[in-house]
Amino acid sequence: MIDWRTRQTLVTGALGAVTVLFLAYQWLPMLTMALLSFTGPDGGPTFPMRGVSLHWYRELARVQMVDDFKPPMFRSLVLALACSVTTAALALAAAQAIRARFRGSNPFFYLVLLGIMAPGLLVGFGVAVVTRILGIPLAWYTTTFAVHVVWTLPFGFLTLLAAFNRFDVRLEEAALTLGANRWRAFWRVTFPLVLPGVIGAGLFGFTLSYDEFARSLFSTGSEQTLPLVIFAQFDRQLQPTLYAIGTVTTVVSLVTVALFSLLYRIVRQRTRTLANETT
Amino acid sequence: MSTLRARSPVSYLLALPAALWMLAALIVPTIFIVWVSFWATRTFSLASPLALINYAKFFSRSTYVKLLVDTVQQSLLLMAITLVLGYCIAYFIVVKVRRPQLQLWLFLLLVVPFWTSALIRTIAWIPFLGVTGVINQALLFLGVVDQPVSAFLYSLTGITLAQVSFYTLLATGPVAYTLRNVPPSLREAAQCLKATPLHVFWRITFPLTLPGVVIGQILVFLNVMADFATASAIGGNKYAFLGNLVILLYDSGQLPFASVIAVLLMLCMLGGVAVLLKMVDIRRLGVA
Amino acid sequence: MAEHDLELKHVTKRFGTFVAVNDLSLVVEPGQFICLLGPSGCGKTTTLRLIAGLEEADAGEIRIAGARVNATPPWQRDIAMMFQDFALFPHMTVERQVGFGLEMLKRRKDEIRRRVREILTTFEIAPLAARKPDTLSGGQRQRVALARALITEPRILLLDEPIGSLDFSLREAVMLELKDVQRRLGISFVWVTHDQNEAFSLGDRVVVMNHARIEQVGRPEEIFERPRTRFVATFVQGHNVLDGAVESVEGEQVRVRTPVGGFVVPARELPPPPPGTTVSFSVRAELLTERPGPEHGNRVRATCHAVEYLGSVRRYDLRLPDGRSVKYEQFAAAAARIAEGAEVTLGWRPDEGVLHLPADGRT
């Protein structure tokens, strides 16, 4: 009979092993892709690597390639930015509205959450059908934009709901009793305190849109976004240039997440020091 | 009292943009899809009469029905795998890891891939699974096999392997969230009531995290049901699920039939979610 | 000779570099009500958790009913515990959770049902059997937690500040109820609190703790009338503490020189400290008088700073020449008031002071 303490240690060890192995499992493909993107000019899409070079990155930057990838990248970035701002604004309004518990706020809550549950395929297809029937032309800055926000809004909404949950209503009440009207109380007290949540919503809006593929598939016109172009290229042939652009775009995503997180922490630190100074 | 009076008209105004957006871009298209699925034509024609002919077409051919069954089967498989895997990971990070720093880093490592492109991650699996891929090279190197295993790429195994790496996070997150809300004093109280660690888990911890488990399962279910990119990238042309069929039909202009598939997909999903939701109330998670 | 219910022998527990419990030894006899009393961070809760088995001792021995339990996990120890927040299982009805312990002991279903019904009736919560914890009031929850703990008939019940989260008005009633239960059942209770009133009214013996050590163990009267260390005298309300140095020793009497004068303090059981030693002693507020007679050998001048009316008692805050505060309690019916700002001479009898154990370098 094994000692109970040994049993506990074994269980912890097993769970830890599973966790670490899974994390490796999840990250290895991406790391491998990044590694392979540095393969030599004779290298193919799989191992073994023939030398190490920046050849494929240079291929990316070549004039031909630039036409292939740079405009779509630009479009994706602009779209992501627009999505980010729209998500943050709509989510803030929706979360603030929910606080008032208006009639129909329950169905409203589920309506917004529906965006997470609805798979990209169906949403994209649905929009394709509608635009076809109504004769609306597809474009990355109209139809794709609409579909992206449907996906990102629920995430931003949940983030802001959590932020409002942590928020102390009494601070607002204090502002109101000190003579501020509701509008000013919101902008001077509430908004700065839930700003981290707004930034979080903006983060979701940006990254989820920038990487979004399935929804864009049906709703984008001839001017494609980056993931679509990557997919098209992938369909044609699998070359290390694809790994290069894949690595580049992943790095962009990671850097964005890091920047947003930094911004989030700075804002939270500032509001915390302000709160400490005033109490 | 807050900056918004209860039930004030301003709140309706604030909720309006989000509501309109979701209605226009989500609900209306769904209604249109349902309408188109009843068109009695093969291609696009606004003047189509309405009939169930395209539905009959779906159920009359066993290949189509098999596709539906295969898709549901794959979802159930992924649900089972991610349930166990996800719970183990969540339990380890939330309960077993003591230092908050380590917890944070593990959680970040788990979640950050969510913020990268799913497409890129799918593509990244190719060099892994192929005959000259990393897995085979490792197996050869370790001497486990003497010939590369071709059964990874362009196979159901490969698709499943890739899907597990994408969707486990969906199962882990909600479980981790509910696990965090179980106070350690509850576990300790059970221990002082003669409950062994196994009993503590099964009678106290697990039941209290059931909402998180169910939500995770719902998310995995929905994602796998509609997944087409993994199947097409890793399965090549040999494998398809319902999602791939929709795209195929759309590309060849057969909108009504594509809509039928889409509607059936939606029904399956709604059915599955309804069954799972009987077990939990989302709002009780303290989000709203 | 019956074995002790609980014995802690030189138990030490460290968390990293922090020593939470330092070389602690304690004995609990069957049927005793022990209170662990002390400020936050003194180690009383850690001690309780060591007894329960929720923490493992780094050194020393823990014995329950004579058997060494250091390596025994909580679910195999003959104890039960009541937590500060009650720790009721939110997903179980009252009936289910009260029966939980018996379920774990694999008793038969009909026996469990019977025992649960019995104990719910005893604690007058039978109507709540089908309710869930979130619908219960604080007092009701406390009873459910108690029933749940006692149904397994443990040898020792451990209680971690069990009435701290209750409304003030409820506390008194619950305290008396718990004392009554303990006396009826005859099992040992180990009760942790930072509230002196709780400890003194409930405990057969009180263990005063500070900084991971025991300062004093004794009956409430003993602790109150003879605080052993400076800490105990300052922690327990109603004592005035003075610091000084030993001037001379005459038999049992120790003469102490302080910044505000010289005083005579009996040494009693303590070995008389050599002259020059830094010592402290205390005298209780109610033993002072503002009209010292010839028998009140110890005298000191003080100025009245403030007065508190506490119903039957007037408590004065008087200031000594060196600025130190002295509390003096006067039964209001008796003497005349001391006016604010007035100067008085306070006195007490030479045998009424209590000498403390000299500090040995630890705070």
Q: Which among B88, B222, B259 is the nearest to A18, CB-wise? A: B88
C-alpha distance from B179 to closest chain C C-alpha (Å): 14
Q: State pLDDT tens for residues B169-183.
A: 999 999 999 999 999
Is B119–A230 a contact, with Cβ atoms under 8 angstroms apart? yes
* Interchain proximity A94–B46, CB inside 8 Å: no
Q: How far apart are CA C243 and CA C240, in angstroms?
A: 10
What pLDDT is stored for residue A238 in this prediction? 66
Q: How far apart are CA A84 and CA A200, in angstroms?
A: 10
Torsion on CA atoms C85, C91, C96, C99, rounded to nearest 10? -40
In a domain, B4, yes or no: no
CATH of the domain at C123: 3.40.50.300
Cα–Cα distances in Å, from B54 out to B29, B248, B249, B267?
19, 16, 13, 16
Do residues C273 and C339 share a domain? Answer: yes
Distance, in Å, from the CA atom of B98 to the CA atom of B104, rounded to the nearest integer, reads: 11
CB–CB contact A254 B115 (8 Å): yes
Tell whether B49 is covered by a domain. Answer: no
Between A159-163, A273-277, C267-271, the lowest mean confidence (pLDDT) is in A273-277
Q: Give percent of chain A with pLDDT exceeding 90.
A: 18
Helices (H), chain C: 44-52, 94-98, 100-104, 109-122, 138-150, 168-185, 196-202, 220-225, 230-235
Residue B286: pLDDT above 50? no
pLDDT band at residue C50 using 50, 70 and 90 as cut-offs:
very high
Confidence class for position B153, pLDDT limits 50, 70, 90: confident
pLDDT at B284 over 70: no
User: What local confidence, expressed as pLDDT, does residue C361 receive?
Assistant: 41
Of the segments B3-7, B266-270, C138-142, C144-148, which one has the largest average pLDDT value?
A: C144-148
Q: How far apart are CA A205 and CA A80, in angstroms?
A: 7
ipTM comes to 0.85
The C-alpha atoms of residue C328 and residue C307 are separated, in whole angstroms, by: 9
Minimal Cα–Cα distance from B228 to chain C, Å? Answer: 40
Phi and psi angles of residue C286, each rounded to the nearest 5 degrees, phi first: -85, -5
Q: Per the domain annotation, does C344 fall within a domain?
A: yes
* Percent of chain A's residues with pLDDT above 70: 90
- Strand (E) or helix (H) holding C332: none
Give the range of the structural domain holding residue C270, as residue numbers without chain letter: 230-355
SS3 content of chain C, % helix, strand, coil (to 5): 25, 35, 40
Q: Are B133 and B127 in contact (CB under 8 A)?
A: yes
Answer yes or no: do C11 and C160 share one domain: yes
CA–CA dist B256, B246 (Å, integer): 10
Q: What is the pLDDT of residues A184-199, one digit of tens each?
A: 888 888 888 888 889 9
pLDDT digits (tens, 9 = 90+) for C288-325: 888 888 888 888 888 889 888 888 888 888 888 888 88
- Of B6, B26, B243, which has the smallest distance from its Cβ to A150's Cβ? B26
Which residues on chain A are in Cβ contact (under 8 Å) with C73?
4-5
pLDDT on residue A275: 67
Cβ–Cβ of A91/B18 closer than 8 Å? Answer: yes
Would you call B88 and A19 a contact, using CB atoms and an 8 Å cutoff? Answer: yes
Q: Which residues pair with C302 in a beta bridge?
A: C344
Contact: C91, B185; criterion CB under 8 Å: no
Q: Are C144 and C133 in contact (CB under 8 A)?
A: yes
Chosen from A1, A3, A4 to mutate, greatest number of chain C CBs within 10 A: A4
Give C255-261 contacts, CB < 8 A, sequence gap 24+: C256/C281, C259/C321, C259/C322, C260/C300, C260/C301, C260/C320, C260/C321, C260/C322, C260/C324, C261/C299, C261/C300
Average pLDDT in the A137-149 region? 85
- The pLDDT, as a whole number, for residue A178 is 85
Are the C-beta atoms of residues A147 and A123 closer than 8 Å to each other? yes
Domain match, C326 and C351 both = yes
Query: Sheet of C354-355: strands edge to edge?
Result: C261-266, C253-258, C239-250, C278-284, C354-355
Average pLDDT over residues A3-32: 91
Q: Is the pLDDT of residue B4 over 80?
A: no
For the segment C95-119, what is each residue's pLDDT rounded down to a tens digit? Answer: 999 999 999 999 999 999 999 999 9
Tell me how close the Cα of A86 comes to any Cα of chain B, in angstroms.
Answer: 10
Percent of chain B exceeding pLDDT 90 equals 32
Length of chain B counted residue by residue: 288
Q: Which CATH class is domain A56-278?
A: mainly alpha
Q: How many CB pairs under 8 A join A and C?
A: 4
Question: Quick one: pLDDT at residue B285?
Answer: 45
In sequence order, which residues have a C-beta less than 8 Å from that of residue A123 and are 6 or more positions away?
Answer: A147, A150, A151, A215, B25, B26, B29
Residue C177 in any domain: the answer is yes
- Find, among C314, C354, C306, C308, the residue nearest to C332 by Cα: C314
C-alpha C332/C-alpha C342 separation (Å) is: 18
Assess A2–C contact: CB distance below 8 Å, yes or no: no
Interchain contact, B228 vs A121, CB within 8 Å? yes
Range B65-72 contact pairs with CB under 8 angstroms and sequence separation of 24 or more:
B67/B240, B67/B241, B67/B242, B67/B245, B68/B242, B68/B264, B68/B268, B70/B241, B71/B225, B71/B241, B71/B242, B71/B243, B71/B268, B72/B225, B72/B268
Q: Of C225, C249, C270, which residue sits at a domain end? A: C225
Q: Say whether pLDDT at A229 is over 90.
A: no
Rounded percentage of chain B residues whose pLDDT exceeds 70: 91
- Are the beta carbons of B179 and B209 closer than 8 angstroms? yes
Query: Which range has highest mean pLDDT (A61-70, A123-132, B109-118, C185-194)?
Result: C185-194
Question: By C-alpha distance, which of B169, B197, B174 is closest to B287?
Answer: B174
Q: Sort out which chain B residues have CB atoms less than 8 A from C75's CB and list them.
A: 191-196
Chains that touch C (3 or more CB pairs under 8 A): A, B
Beta strand residue intervals within C212-252, DSSP E: 213-218, 239-250
Q: Is any Cβ of chain B less than 8 angstroms from the Cβ of C343?
A: no
Residue C195 has φ and ψ, to the nearest 5°, of: -95, 115
Please calculate the CA angle B164-B167-B170 and round it to the nearest 5 degrees. 140
Q: Kindly tell me if the per-residue pLDDT of B287 is higher than 50.
A: no
Structural domain of B214: 61-285
B230 close to B122: Cβ distance less than 8 angstroms:
yes
What's the CATH number where B274 sits? 1.10.3720.10
Mean pLDDT within C281-288: 89
On the question of pLDDT at B131 being above 70, the answer is no
pLDDT digits (tens, 9 = 90+) for A60-96: 777 565 557 778 888 888 999 999 999 999 999 999 8
Please write down the HEC assignment for all residues of chain A: CCCHHHHHHHHHHHHHHHHHHHHHHHHHHHHHHHHHCCECCCCCCCCCCCCECCHHHHHHHCHHHHHHHHHHHHHHHHHHHHHHHHHHHHHHHHHHHHHCCCCCHHHHHHHHHHHHHCCHHHHHHHHHHHHHHHCCCCCCCCHHHHHHHHHHHHHHHHHHHHHHHHCCHHHHHHHHHCCCCHHHHHHHHHHHHHHHHHHHHHHHHHHHHHHCCHHHHHHCCCCCCHHHHHHHHHHHCCCHHHHHHHHHHHHHHHHHHHHHHHHHHHHHHHHHHHHHHHC
Spans of all domains in chain A: 56-278
The pLDDT score that the predictor gives to residue A237 is 67
Dist CA C264 CA C281 (whole Å): 10
Is residue C106 located within the same domain as residue C209? yes
In total, how many domains does chain C have? 2
H or E segment at C251? none
Out of A90-99, B279-288, C339-348, least confident range = B279-288
| Contact call for B192 and C54, based on CB within 8 A | yes
Q: From C209, C225, C241, give the residue that closes a domain.
A: C225
Neighboring chain B residues of A165 at a CB cutoff of 8 Å? 286-287
Residues of B in contact with A256 (CB under 8 A): 115
Q: Which of C54, C75, C81 sits opposite B196 (nearest CB)?
A: C75
C143 and C242 assigned to the same domain: no
Answer whether B84 touches A (CB < 8 Å): no
- Give the pLDDT band (50/70/90) at residue A43: low
Q: Which residue has the higher pLDDT, A200 or C334?
A: A200
Q: Which residues of B touch A112 (CB under 8 A)?
A: 18-19, 22
Task: Please report which confidence band the pLDDT of residue C26 belongs to, taking 50, 70 and 90 as the band edges.
Answer: very high
| pLDDT value of position A46 | 66
pLDDT number for residue C362: 38
Asked if A183 has any chain C CB less than 8 Å from its own CB, the reply is: no
Residues C264 and C295 in one domain: yes
Average of per-residue pLDDT across B88-110: 91
Position B85 in a domain: yes
Residue in chain A nearest B242 by alpha carbon: A121
Q: Is residue A277 very low, low, confident or very high in pLDDT (cuts 50, 70, 90)?
A: low
The single-letter DSSP state of residue C357 is: P
Domain-located, residue C304 = yes
Residue C204 pLDDT exceeds 60: yes
What is the predicted pLDDT for the residue at A138? 80
Q: Does A5 touch chain C (CB under 8 A)?
A: yes
Chain A residues with CB inside 8 Å of C54's CB?
none
Tell me: do C80 and C156 sit in the same domain.
Answer: yes
Q: What is the predicted pLDDT for the residue at C157?
A: 96
Contacts of A238 in chain B (CB under 8 A): 123, 126
In this structure, are strands C79-82 and C67-68 parallel, antiparallel, or unpaired?
A: unpaired
Instruction: For residue B57, name the pLDDT band (cuts at 50, 70, 90).
Output: confident
Higher-confidence residue of A238 and A111: namely A111
In which band, very low, low, confident or very high, does the pLDDT at B280 lie, cut at 50, 70 and 90? low
Mean pLDDT in residue range C252-269? 87
Q: Do A121 and B243 touch (CB under 8 A)?
A: yes
Find the mean pLDDT for residues A95-115: 86
Q: What are the chain A neighbours of B139 within 8 Å (beta carbons)?
A: none
Please report, for residues A259, B162, C280, the alpha-carbon distance to residue B235 in angstroms, rounded to integers and kept in the order given.
Answer: 36, 11, 85
- List C residues 204-233 in contact with B (Cβ-Cβ < 8 A): none
- For residue B217, name the pLDDT band (cuts at 50, 70, 90): very high
The answer to whether residue B115 neighbours chain A at the CB level (below 8 Å) is yes
**For chain A, what is the mean pLDDT?**
83
Whether residue C17 sits in one domain with residue C161: yes
Q: Decide: C280 and C230 in contact? Cβ < 8 Å.
A: yes
Q: Rounded to a whole number, what is the distance in Å from the CA of A50 to chain C's nearest CA?
A: 51
Domain contains B139 = yes
Residue C189 CB burial class (10 angstroms; 0-12, 13-18, ≥19): buried
Among A212-226, B151-165, C178-192, the range scoring the smallest mean pLDDT is: A212-226
The verdict on residue C350 lying in a domain is yes
Q: Do A90 and B21 touch (CB under 8 A)?
A: yes
Q: How far does B43 lie from chain A, in Å, by closest CA?
A: 12
